[in-house]
Each structure stands twice: as structure tokens, then as C-alpha cells.
Amino acid sequence: MDIRQDLEDLFGLKSVEYKSNLSKEELFHEAIANDRGRTRVDGPDDDQKAFPTKLGVDGPLVFYTDPTCTGRPVQDTFAVAWPDTEESVWWKNDFKKFDPDKFEALMKRAAEHLNERGSTLYVKDVFCGNDSSYAVPYRFVGEYATHALFAHNMFPKGIEGVGDEDAKRITLLNVPSFRCDPDRDGTNSERVVVADFKRRVVLVLGRADYCGVNKKTMFTAMNYQLPAMGHMSMHCSANIGKRGDGAILFGLSGTGKTTLSADPDRLLIGDDEHAWTHNGVSNLEDGCYAKLIDLDKGAEPVIAAALSMPGTLIENVPPLPGKRMEDTDPQDLDLADNSITENTRFSYPLTANPNVADGAKGPAPETIVLLTADAFGVLPPVAILEPKEVMYHFVQGFTAKLAGTEVGITEPKAAFSACFGAPFMARYPSVYAQRLAEKMEATSARCILLNTGWGGGPYGVGKRISIHDTRALLNAALNGDLHEEGMEYEVHPVFGMKMPTSCPEVDSKILNPRNTWDDKDAYDTAAEKLRDMFRKNFEDKGFSDLGIEPVM
């Protein structure tokens, strides 16, 4: 269908101009010339938002979001509560119900706003998913060329064999210049992100111009759609070994999901969002969206090199004092400068990584890794999980973080995020757990819990498990060594986990975490405290009612 006719039928857009499917170079120049909005709290709504560096079109675009939206606006994120979809959605504080009548009226008002302004909208047609058996056409439509460039970077193009694209397409309309009225529109503020799973439409209205909104909202939509197709949608990284053996690594931020999947001896499928279907594992995306704050260029050479690539996108990194961005080499930017936000970001194509798997696809995984970074220092560095334990730890999605950066505050804080990505999981956790169980049973996949956190005591007392030991444990798991016949195990008396008693290249003393603590009584107390946190979260979330068996 013609783009203009399609968008008129869908939204009622009649008096707008479209710039459709421009090249990255064209979008680069359009963003600099035309993307205008607020970049300072007390600033005007017509500030320039996108800038070139000294490299011009041969380098990155630098974009500044509204200062109130330097991350996902979770309290302004909704889905339409249609009667025929309401019961299947996992409603929660960061994914709330939106009244269907309010949504219809709001969509009409957004279109009237654009028609009255005679707006110019950028359209970028891409896909979500690299496998044509499930890939969904994704049409970005919005006021900022930067967002269209971001969509080009982050999503696959030209996936052949999808079929019936018009019927499958999800369309996201992004209108930063619109202001919601909470009393009139049913929103929490002047901005809103609301997904309509029934009509396959997403509205992003108001000061919600953080680029990641255009990525994570699509991931949420896919997390609703893929399970209904019998597929497993996953917030994980994935790679392939030299034997053709696949692996997936689930984990929250700071657990090593990206770092551990970037292995010179394995081909990278992707580092964030994937589907597991009858064809194997495939990346939903075609790009990476990396954190830049305090980037160690020596440790992350791929990201460092991509900073100077044409068509990449740097988000919210401040300019150097007294120097125009146009006169700045991107390699000279101060990546430790958090004066705008801690959440500085960088979007670049997946192909910037070395050793990317052909088509960002691979086989079903032989090994599944659940990552955690236990700052309490009590979980074993590695544990072998039985199927019921996999389901339990998958829906819990545990890691432990430091409570804060204030001097003297060293007490860790538990963090639970179901399915290792609760905000983006549109269906109940049991749906994804069931899909994972089915896939594991069909492929005889093995699973480990890999702890990249502390040993010998909690944070501030013990030491973080070395990357050498973590890599050795992971490699042993990928090789099947930890599951070999004859491998001896201890069962943890508090957590009930099977802990291998030996592993190549690892001191066997660390494999039972109690052995690494000088004060054994303190260890026992800390382990029981963490177990009780698991139990409380399990009860609070009602996981038993969802059919998950408690194992602690």
C-alpha cells in the first residue's frame, strides 16, 4: 500500500509531508538542519538537537534529548486495555492500562496537531527480526530525522520472504512537539508512550525523544507477539562456537551479558534481543545500543572505533568546554562527563563488531547461561540447574547491586527483574518460562547459573570473581565439561544448587563460596538472608499462582 494512503487510513494524516526511506547520509543532514526541540530545562523548544563532529558526514551524529527524558519514561508507558487483550497482558507499575476510548481520541488529536502544522515527517521502513518466519515489518514515522537514522541503525532491512507485510506491520508515530493534557487524555504527564497490540500501533507523544524508546517499545511489542506464535522472545546475548554450538546468556545490566558474549573464539549473534524459534536463535535487531559513560576504550575497542564511523549516533555526551561540536574529533569527547546524564548512549550497526554470525542467526543453544552479579558474596560462581530450577531462577531474574555511591554505603541491594527484562515483558512471566521449558526439553539444552559477583565476603570485604575464572567456568560449561558423566558435585545446604567440585583452570576452593569466607557463621547468616529475599520476591510476585515451583 502507498505510504501516504496507509498513514491517512491509520491515523488520519492528510496535510503533512513525508520524507520516506532516506539514506543514512541524507538523514544525517536532515537531522542537523531540521531537528529542533528543548535541550536545556529552561531552554526554548527550537534548540538545535543534532550536530556533526569534525568528521562531518564521515563521522557520527551527536543528538541531545529533552533533559527530562534521558532514559525510558517508565511512568509514562502504557498499553491499550482492549477487552480482548486485557487479560493476556502483564500489567505493572511501568506498563499500565490505557483506556481504549482515550487512546482513540488521543490518536486523533495527535493527527490533527500534525495536520494543522503541516508537519514534515520522516518515515523509515525496517523489520524487527532477522528470520522471515516471524519478522515483523516496522514502520517508524516521526518528526525527527535522528530517530529515523536510529531505526536504520538498529533494525534489519530488506528481510525477504516475510509475506503480507501490510497486515503484519507495526507502525510507531513519534511526535515530540505534541503536549498531552493529563485531565483530558488520561496520561500521567504531558508525554506518553502507549502501545496498541490489537491495532499494531504505537504512539510516542511529547517530551519522550530518548532514542531507546523507539527500540524498547518494539521489543515489548515483539514480546507480546512472539509467544502467541509459539516462539520464545528473550532479553539475552547469543553466540556460536567453532563446533556450531549455540549459547544464550540472560542477564541484567552489570552482569556481563555483553562482555561475555563478545568472545574472539565464537561468532556473535547479538547482545540484547533475540527470538528462539524452530529455526534456531536469531537477533531481533541489526545494531547495538551501548552505554558510553566511563567507557574504557582499551577494554572496548569495537565501540571506541565505531565512535568515528559514518552514520553512527552518539546520544547526550556533552560537548567539550568552550569547543563547538563541529570542531571536535569524536575520539576527544569526554566519555566520563555525566553532566547531562549517567545514561549516555551510542548506536552503531551490528557489523561494526568482528566475528558476527551470518545473518545474525544461529542454531538452537546447547548451553543456556543465567547470569547474576551477587554483591552479597554468597552464591556459588557456577551452579548446574535442573529444569525446575531454571524456571525458578528465570522468573526471579536476580542480581545484586550496590545501594549507592555515597561514601561508607557498602550494603548490597537485591534486584529482581522477571525473565531478566521485566519492564519489556508484555505477557506474564510464566508464559516465557513455559516457552523456555518447551524449547529446552525439545533440544536437551543444559543450563547453568553463572555468578560474576563477589566471593570471600560481600562487596567492600570480599573480591569480585576474576574475569579469568568467570571465562574458564563459562568455557567449561560451553564445552559440556560441567555436565560430563563422572563430574562430582556438592549440593549447597541453603540454596539447594548443585556445585561442581572441580573445573579446568579454576582453583577448586572458590567453587563452594562458603570456603572463601573467613567467618563461616557470617557466611551462613548472609546466605540465609539472601534465600529469604528470594522467597519474599517469589511470594510477592505470586509466582506459585503462575505454576512456578519454589526450589528454595
258 given a catalytic annotation: yes
545 given a catalytic annotation: no
Of 207, 345, 361, 393, catalytic? 345
Of 139, 169, 235, 439, catalytic? 235
Find cell 523507539 and name the residue.
214
φ, ψ of residue 387 to 5 degrees: the values are: -50, -45
d(CA 482, CA 447): 10
Indicate the burial class of 28 (C-beta count within 10 angstroms; 0-12, 13-18, 19 or more).
buried
94 given a catalytic annotation: no
d(CA 2, CA 5): 5
Using an 8 Å Cβ cutoff, are 186 and 98 in contact?
yes
d(CA 427, CA 205): 24
Residue-by-residue DSSP string for 276-302: EETTEEEES-SEEEEE-TT--TTT-HH
* Sequence-ordered list of residues with C-beta below 8 angstroms from that of 432, at least 6 positions apart, any chain: 223, 227, 232, 233, 234, 394, 419, 425
Rounded (10°) angle between helices 213-228 and 145-154: 50
Return the closest-CA partner of residue 37 out of 2, 75, 66.
66
**Range list of β-strands (E), 50-103:** 50-52, 61-63, 77-80, 96-98
Of 263, 272, 337, 469, catalytic? 272
CB atoms within 10 A of CB 369: 27
Return the closest-CA partner of residue 212 out of 361, 25, 23, 65.
65
Of 23, 253, 351, 501, catalytic? 253
Of 146, 187, 255, 258, catalytic? 258
SS3 call for 221:
helix
306, β-bridge pairs? none
SS3 call for 454:
strand
345 given a catalytic annotation: yes
H helices of 40-172, in order, are: 100-117, 145-154, 165-168
End-to-end CA distance of the chain: 55
d(CA 445, CA 447): 7
Of 200, 215, 216, 446, catalytic? 216
520 given a catalytic annotation: no
2 given a catalytic annotation: no
d(CA 544, CA 106): 38
Give the angle subtended at the CA of 313 by the CAs of 311 and 314, to the nearest 5°.
Answer: 145
φ, ψ of residue 258 to 5 degrees: the values are: -80, -45
d(CA 168, CA 485): 47
272 given a catalytic annotation: yes
Using an 8 Å Cβ cutoff, are 503 and 382 in contact?
yes
Return the closest-CA partner of residue 164 out of 140, 132, 196.
132
Of 152, 257, 427, 439, catalytic? 257
Of 72, 124, 152, 215, catalytic? 72
109 given a catalytic annotation: no
d(CA 472, CA 89): 40
Q: Which residues are catalytic?
A: 72, 216, 235, 253, 257-258, 272, 345
